[in-house]
Amino acid sequence: MSDCLFCKISSGEIPADIVYEDDRVIAFRDIHPVAPVHILIVPKTHVATMLELAARPDGSDLASAVLKVIPEIARKMQVDQSGFRLINNCGEEGGQTIPHVHFHLIGGRKLGEKLI
């Protein structure tokens, strides 16, 4: 999608600090990190939200592609042993600000109170 920030990062049009990339997924450091490790994991295909991802015929494949790279990214960021948190903000009340589905991998310090 032409005016989508994460599509532009995926295509290389806008630079980012990329920590992982394959043909379907890109992962890069969040520009406003909330912890020493704060990585955004993004399917390259433009899909607005987690709900839209789940509704697509190829949604399971795209979600699976994201899931499968998490261990490698966690190892690379050295949080595979210590642990980390994975977050998807979905929609306005979920706190989603960029309408291209993505997952926050956060760690590198003892994280605060759980939401649930």
By the criterion CB under 6 A, which residues form the site for ligand 5GP?
A: 5, 16, 28-32, 40, 89, 95-98
> Measured between alpha carbons, how far is 5 from 14 in angstroms, rounded to an integer?
8
Catalytic residue annotation: 102
Spacing of C-alpha 43 from chain mean position: 8
Instruction: Give the residue with the Cβ less far from ligand 5GP, 81 or 91.
Output: 91
Of 45, 58, 52, 55, which Cα lies nearest the Cα of 6?
45
Spacing of C-alpha 103 from chain mean position: 3
Q: Which of residues 56-95 bind Zn ion (CB under 5 A)?
A: none
1 is a site residue for Zn ion (CB under 5 A):
yes
**Residue 12 touches which member of ligand 5GP, Zn ion, none, C-beta under 5-8 Å by kind:** none
CA angle, corner 69, sides to 60 and 66, nearest 5? 30
48 is a site residue for Zn ion (CB under 5 A):
no
Spacing of C-alpha 68 from chain mean position: 12
**Residue 30 touches which member of Zn ion, ligand 5GP, none, C-beta under 5-8 Å by kind:** ligand 5GP
> Measured between alpha carbons, how far is 34 from 42 in angstroms, rounded to an integer?
18
Q: Smallest distance, Å, CB 16 to ligand 5GP? A: 5
Residues contacting Zn ion: total by CB under 5 A? 6
Residue of 46, 49, 96, 108 that binds Zn ion (CB under 5 A): 46
